[in-house]
Amino acid sequence: MNRWARWWVIALLGSIPVVVSVVHGLMGGAILLQDRAVFGLQVADAATGSFPSLGQYSWHGWSHLGSLLFYIFVPFHWLAGGASWGLFVGAGAHSCALLVLIAWLAFRLRGLWGTATAVALLLASWMSVGGIASADVWTPFLAIPLFVLFVTAAWGVTERDRPSMWLMCMSAALLVQVHVGYLPIVGLIGLTALGTFWWTGGNQRAMARPILSSLLLFLPLAFNPRDSAANFVHLWRFFSHSDTPTIGFSRGLRVVAFEMSPEASWLQGPSSEGIVGEARNGSWGWFAGVVIILLLCTIWVFRSPAESPRRKFGSSVPIMWAGLVAMVIGVAQVRGYLIPYVVLWRAVIVMLIVAWIVGVILANTSMVRQPLITAGAMGLFVLNLIGAILPTTEVSIVMPAAVRVREAIAQAVVFQENSPSADEGAILFRLGDGGLVGLYPALLYDFEQRGITGGIPADVERVFGDRVLDPVDASSVWMVCDTGWAFSLLSSASGATIVSVITPFTPEEEAKVVELQTLLAHELRTIGHLEAVTSLDSPLVAISLSELDINHDAAQELATLNQRASTPGDRFGIVAFASSDVPDIWWPLEVF
C-alpha cells in the first residue's frame, strides 16, 4: 500500500464512530433541546440573512466571541430545508473533516504511528464524554476535535512546519469563538509555540501571514459593531469585577490530578458525575508524579547528543510545560460550580503530555523495534475506536428527557392546531421556569421549523435573536415550565389552559400534586422564604422545609408523591393564558 494512503485508512476507520453517531442521532428523531436548539435557531438566522455577530449565549449575561461556526453550518441547514437532521449531519461532517486534518498532520510530523496516536487521542476524547458527542451540535463537543487539531498543530509549529502554523492559527481563532474559556489555554500554548518557532530561526513572515489571516475569521463581529462592543464590555466586567469567586489553584490542581490518575475519563469513559455533575478531585500524588516524569524527560532530551532522535523532541518541550501550566490556570480560574464540560480540554492536554513522554522514552529504539512501536500505536487506536463506537450503539442513546420533550411538543402542536385562536395571531412564548430539560428553546426551534407564528419577550432577545413579539400583538401567551412546581403554580392560576404536560402521575395524583405544591408555595411566599420554592419537586421536601412554619403534613404527603418524579424531566409542561390573564411571576426564575 502506498505510504501516503495508510493515514487515509486510519482516518476512514476513525470516522466510523462519527457515522454511527449520526445514524443513531437521526434514528432517535434528531431532537434538539437546551443549547442545541438555541444553536439551531442561530444557524437559521445566519441562513436567512439575520447575520448574527456574536456566538452562543452564556448564563452570565454575555455571549461568546464569534459566530463563524453558525455560518459553517448554514449549508447543512439549506441541505435539510431547515430540518434539524441537517445539524446532525453537519456536526458529523465537522468531526470527520477535522479528524482527516488531524490524521494528515500527525502523519506529516511522525508517520504512521503518529497518525494512529493522534486519532486515538481524539477518539478517547469523544469516549470520555460518551453518547454521540462526535455528532452533537453542543458547542463544548464541537470544540473537542478543534482543540486536538490545535495542539497537534502547535507541536508541528515548534518543529517549524509551515502547514502546522496555518492550522494552529485558524483552529485557535475558531476555538476562541466557540468558547471564551479557551482563550487563556490557546493563548499560552499558541504563544509558546510561536516563540519556539521564532527562537529556532523561523521566518517572521511565516508567522505574520497566518496570524493576520486568522483575524479575518472574526469578521462576523463587524455585522453588528454596537452589540459586539457591548459584549466585550460585559465580558471584561464579568472576568474583572464578578462577585462569583474562582475555584482557586488548590481545587484546580486536584481536578487536573484526577485526569492524571487511573480513574481519568479518557481511561475509564464518562465518570459517575456525568456531564453536568461537579468535576471530581484526584490525589496530589498523581500530579506530582507526572511533573517529575516530565521534568526528567526534559533533562534527558537536552542531555542527549545532537544527532540523537530523542533530541528532536527538544523543540516541543516548551509547549508541554505551557500546556501543563495553562491547564492548571484554566481550571483554577473557572468561576462558581465546576461543571466538567467547561474544562473538557483537560484530558486532551494530559494525553498529549503522556504521548510526548512515551515518545521520548522510545525515541532511540532500533529499526527492529520500530514496527513494534507502530503496532502499539495501532493497538491503542483500535482500542479507542471500539471504545468510541460502543456508546453510540446503545439503545438508550436518546436521553429520556429528549423523548419527553418531543412528546410535550407533539401535544403542543395538536393543541395549536385545534385552538380557536390559531389563525388570529402569534403566540408569545414566556418562561415559567428554566432548568435542565430545555423545553423552552426546543419549543421555539420546533415551532419555527413548522412555520407556526410566535415570538419571545424582549428580555431574552440576546439568547434567541431577533424574535421579539410585542405582547399587544399576541393572541395568547404560553408559559413554558421545565420544573413541576412552576407548572403547578401556573396551571392552578385563573384563566389557565394546559397545552401539554409530562407527568408520571395519574390524573387524580397529578391534581393532588398541583394542590399540594400550590398550597406550600403560597405558604412559603407568605413567610418570606421564596428560595425554598425550588425544593417542592424534591422527595426530600419535607426535610428541607422542616424548620419552617408551613403545613408539614402536606409537605410529607408531597414528599411521598415526589418519589416518583425525583429527577429533572420527570414532570414539566406548558400552560396557555389569554394576553390579559397572565399571572405575575413572583417566584425565583431559573435560566435555561
Collapse the DSSP code of 419 into the 3-class scheme (helix H, G, I; strand E, B; otherwise coil) and give the result: coil
State which of 144-148, 285-289, 385-389 shows the largest mean pLDDT.
144-148
66 with 173, same domain: the answer is yes
* In a shared domain, residues 38 and 145: yes
Tell me the mean pLDDT in the region 527-554: 85
300 lies in the same domain as 427: no
- How much is the pLDDT for 4? 54
Structural domain ending residue among the three candidates 371, 393, 415: 393
Say if 240 falls within a structural domain. Answer: no
pLDDT recorded at residue 341: 61
Largest separation between any pair of C-alpha atoms in the chain: 85
Q: What is the pLDDT of residue 338?
A: 59
What is the DSSP secondary-structure string of 318-354?
Answer: HHHHHHHHHHHHHHHT-BSS--GGGGTHHHHHHHHHH
Q: Which residues contact 452 (CB under 8 A, 6 or more apart)?
A: 413, 416, 427
Residues 443 and 502 occupy one common structural domain? yes
Same domain, 510 and 415: yes
Residue 361 has pLDDT above 90, yes or no: no
Residue holding cell 479528524?
Answer: 99
The more confident residue out of 465 and 163 is: 163
Average confidence score pLDDT of the chain: 81
Q: Is residue 585 part of a domain?
A: no
Single residue among 393, 420, 451 that ends a domain in this structure: 393
Establish if 554 belongs to a structural domain. Answer: yes
Residue 535's domain comprises 400-577
> Does residue 562 lie within any of the structural domains?
yes
pTM of the model: 0.86
| pLDDT band at 376; cut points 50, 70, 90 | low
450 or 242, higher pLDDT:
450
Percent of the chain with pLDDT over 70: 86
For the ranges 29-38, 125-134, 371-380, 559-568, which has the lowest average pLDDT? Answer: 371-380
Domain boundary among 350, 365, 393: 393
**Does residue 496 lie within any of the structural domains?**
yes
* Same domain assignment for residues 62 and 149: yes
Average pLDDT over residues 402-425: 80
Residue 100, CB-side half-sphere exposure with 13 Å CA sphere = 9
Is 211 domain-assigned?
Answer: yes
139 and 29 in one domain? yes
137-182 pLDDT, tens digit per residue, is 888 888 899 999 999 999 999 988 889 999 999 999 999 988 888 8
Q: pLDDT tens across 474-523, in order?
A: 888 999 988 888 889 898 888 889 999 999 989 898 899 899 989 988 88
Residue 108 has which C-alpha cell?
A: 506529516
Are 308 and 375 contained in the same domain?
yes
Domains in the chain: how many in total? 2
**pLDDT bucket at 273, cuts 50 / 70 / 90:** very low
pLDDT at 386: 57
Task: State whether 456 and 533 are in the same domain.
Answer: yes
Confidence grade of residue 100 (pLDDT, cut at 50, 70, 90): very high
DSSP string, 109-142: HHHHHHHHHHHHHHHHHHHHH-TTGGG---HHHH
Same domain, residue pair 211 and 293 = yes
419 and 310 part of one domain: no
Give dist(CA 54, CA 44) in Å, integer: 14
- Whether residues 472 and 337 share a domain: the answer is no
In a domain, 30, yes or no: yes
Residue 241: inside a domain: no
